[in-house]
Structure 1
């Protein structure tokens, strides 16, 4: 086989439906249109199994098939000789095809009809270019290898997580031309993802959450595989964060504790890529666009590579932070804060924290903030280290490898966004200062 499947991946984007030919045991042929052909690797493709129709019946008794696909860029047609291997009804391949098919169904007005029953995996025995006129392929909008190289060079010098995340999103904007991006980190204890950085939105959405398995982002995280959709689709749209007010507190349940996820009002293309380090899920890199079919297989490959570098950099930064933090500076007595006291309320059920009646944060970040405030109020402390927080039983970090730096970044950004009279200021490697510009009064619910 002179051609490999990865050389004709643009034919598998679903822009032009493929046609598949099968035959029964007695040789009776059948030709049908296909909703979806999925690239698996250079020698395999997967076809969508949606109905128990004649095509399916033939494949079950005669595993050979012929598939014709067309390039939407040049109109070149290719015929693939296939041999059926297996059907997958769960797992990364199935979930990826299910999400993409939902987008196709929504785009064609067939959401109530299209439903993926399985992913039929075929071995590609041969690929033949069919005779006929073709058009010259348009030049690519971006050289993805050059963009990836530039990103690698810019991420290498980053020595802290906040700079690393900022540079990643900036690279996506400037080098890849992707203007709406976010990074979410995994909270293993709650099995939820929380937004720690975003770019291109009116509201940052920092602190917003989404459960594993929900929407494009949650499915990509749960399955550990990229999920890409080329058309608007409500089934895989990420919804607003679920309200989780304390059940046993009348006061807390009456207040708003929801941070909306950032996102485009009409997101027509979406790509979510897991961020992994040594096969461990750290979070998700998510990009979207108001254009249909904005992200291709090549974009997916490039962002998977970028997410791999991001995950390894996060892992190395965390290891370095745990082993080489600066010693804490001597705490000076804080200057007396001026103004009216700010009442800060804490609800232990979910560690939610309110500045007056204004919701700030919850979960591990809320527990960290309350611990810092208690030490400030009781001991007049303003200087802290990441290491002591990791070992402080009051914080209740779910795992020693949980990314404390990400929680501090999240907390610091939320304080800035809420225009609070409290700030977290980095003062060295693994060191920071709590700055309080207004008297505070702590209230434990």
Structure 2
């Protein structure tokens, strides 16, 4: 049976560069390396055009081209007889290749050099396996296919959740149970700061909760900005994304106000999947694995389904929480609260919060804690609704149209992780309660 392009999936992961052989109109041969080859369908491939001028000129003068693909697992080589069809510098195919190129080249500091000129589509006329003079590596044992019943149950579990923390935890649980990946993060978009903040994680020695990725930066930022899944299948060829982010020790958080991005030592594959609802990206699901070529096409599809369901659930949860009215008689803290005085310091420049000189969080989450402490001082209340906080903070932060639930979740989890003497407890749908081990004192720097 003739080989099909779908049989060569491991050749399209960019692990081992492909080779393109062209010839000029008078038959002079030329050979170049390619960074990306994409399977379009069973009859076409698309090549990233960063060719030297000679290769590009040859393709236009003589459309008959030979392409060598290499299996990233086994080292087997395949000779493809292809013919030039068209070149595009815009559209879905171009954007798909450009984003992948940008993400991978950014890992080695060459994002400004490795720019895609065009995506060139070729028709495949024949595929031939190249005989090897030495024995190639045996193909890895086939992995179990994704279980559709398990995926369906994971989707239903996410759909049933009403609170942001339950939704995010169910998403991460689904990644582990359905696909078997042990290291994953959920980063939620923060339009106010133009970044994405880690709000949930599994499998890391340090959770990284509160660590941030600047909008558009690396794989995660590119996935959020484009709404497309981006992956790197062999990290031995590129610098780890985490190494491009400050790896400050926990003790330095108080000085830098930067939480170190979690890392998986020896990670070989990474994938960033946008969490989008009705075309709006609310966050990114980021997964890494110690295995090369870890993420198959069906894995990408399953992850997209899980991430999409989580995005929809978060959007619904946000809308429902925003509709809760304040209680007519909200609980109040009794005067003369026992315990030592707890000092809450708020920095207006970035809305960062320190509790007894320990850094907690910044941005909208920090502004929310300050707001609750101010209200508590004003009338003694300890319970607050998302609705009133959204209305109160919206005047100063007009971008806070959504994701307030996830900001409160990040604040609550950071307080728990830092074992702070202040806690944020769910008190019902769209409602939280502020608990403290002593009287709260709100300060500005220098006071």
How far apart, CA to CA, are the structure 1 residues paired with 2:63 and 2:319? 51
2:320 corresponds to which residue?
320
Alignment CA distance shift 1:210-1:76 (3 Å): closer
Deviates more, 1:216-225 or 1:11-20: 11-20
Q: Indicate conservation of the 8 Å contact 2:232/2:271, yes or no.
A: yes
How far apart, CA to CA, are the structure 1 residues paired with 2:386 and 2:410? 14
Offset at residue 41 of structure 1 (A): 5.4
Offset at residue 394 of structure 1 (A): 6.9
Alignment CA distance shift 1:317-1:241 (3 Å): farther
Task: Please give the per-residue CA displacement for 1:386-427, whole angstroms capped at 9, x wherever unaligned.
Answer: 111111147734335321000000000011111112111112
1:152 equivalent to 2:150? Answer no
2:86 corresponds to which residue?
85
How far apart, CA to CA, are the structure 2 residues paired with 1:68 and 1:352? 54
How far apart, CA to CA, are the structure 2 residues paired with 1:35 and 1:394? 46
Alignment CA distance shift 1:282-1:362 (3 Å): same
Q: SS of the counterpart of 2:179? A: coil
How far apart, CA to CA, are the structure 2 residues paired with 1:392 and 1:36? 50
Deviates more, 1:234-243 or 1:177-186: 234-243
Alignment CA distance shift 1:186-1:40 (3 Å): farther
Task: Please give the per-residue CA displacement for 1:30-69, whole angstroms capped at 9, x wherever unaligned.
Answer: 4545343133556653323445154233123334433343
Alignment CA distance shift 1:3-1:317 (3 Å): farther
Q: SS of the counterpart of 1:69? A: strand
1:240 equivalent to 2:242? Answer no
Offset at residue 18 of structure 1 (A): 3.4
Q: SS of the counterpart of 1:396? A: coil
Q: Indicate conservation of the 8 Å contact 1:44/1:121, yes or no.
A: no
Offset at residue 128 of structure 1 (A): 3.1
1:436 equivalent to 2:441? Answer no
1:334 corresponds to which residue?
333
How far apart, CA to CA, are the structure 1 residues paired with 2:86 and 2:54? 18
Q: SS of the counterpart of 1:319? A: helix
How far apart, CA to CA, are the structure 2 residues paired with 1:41 and 1:396? 50
1:425 equivalent to 2:428? Answer no
TM-score (norm 1): 0.84
How far apart, CA to CA, are the structure 2 residues paired with 1:91 and 1:132? 32
Q: Indicate conservation of the 8 Å contact 1:383/1:431, yes or no.
A: yes
How far apart, CA to CA, are the structure 1 residues paired with 2:64 and 2:278? 39
Alignment CA distance shift 1:40-1:273 (3 Å): farther
Q: SS of the counterpart of 1:234? A: coil
Q: Matches of residues 1-40 of structure 1 in structure 2 within 5 Å?
A: 5-6=5-6, 8-15=8-15, 17-40=17-40
Q: SS of the counterpart of 1:156? A: helix
Offset at residue 142 of structure 1 (A): 3.4
1:121 corresponds to which residue?
119
Offset at residue 228 of structure 1 (A): 0.9
How far apart, CA to CA, are the structure 2 residues paired with 1:254 and 1:180? 27
Deviates more, 1:355-364 or 1:259-268: 259-268
1:221 corresponds to which residue?
224
Q: SS of the counterpart of 2:415? A: helix
Instruction: Give the root-mean-square deviation of aligned CA atoms.
Output: 3.3
2:414 corresponds to which residue?
414
1:69 corresponds to which residue?
69
Alignment CA distance shift 1:73-1:231 (3 Å): closer
Alignment CA distance shift 1:327-1:277 (3 Å): same
2:101 corresponds to which residue?
97
Deviates more, 1:367-376 or 1:294-303: 294-303
Q: Indicate conservation of the 8 Å contact 2:275/2:308, yes or no.
A: yes
How far apart, CA to CA, are the structure 2 residues paired with 1:179 and 1:254? 30
Equivalent of residue 196 in structure 1, options 194, 199, 203: 199
Equivalent of residue 208 in structure 2, options 199, 205, 210: 205
How far apart, CA to CA, are the structure 2 residues paired with 1:297 and 1:305? 13
How far apart, CA to CA, are the structure 2 residues paired with 1:408 and 1:19? 51
1:140 equivalent to 2:142? Answer yes
Q: Indicate conservation of the 8 Å contact 1:181/1:287, yes or no.
A: yes
Task: Please give the per-residue CA displacement for 1:322-363, whole angstroms capped at 9, x wherever unaligned.
Answer: 34x365373233244322211111111221111121111111
Q: Indicate conservation of the 8 Å contact 1:100/1:230, yes or no.
A: no
1:246 corresponds to which residue?
none
TM-score (norm 2): 0.84
Alignment CA distance shift 1:394-1:8 (3 Å): closer
Alignment CA distance shift 1:333-1:135 (3 Å): closer
Question: What runs of 5+ residues in structure 2 fail to find an aligned partner?
Answer: none
1:52 equivalent to 2:57? Answer no
Deviates more, 1:291-300 or 1:176-185: 291-300
Offset at residue 122 of structure 1 (A): 3.2
How far apart, CA to CA, are the structure 1 residues paired with 2:87 and 2:267? 34
1:177 corresponds to which residue?
180
1:291 equivalent to 2:277? Answer no
Number of residue pairs matched by the alignment: 428
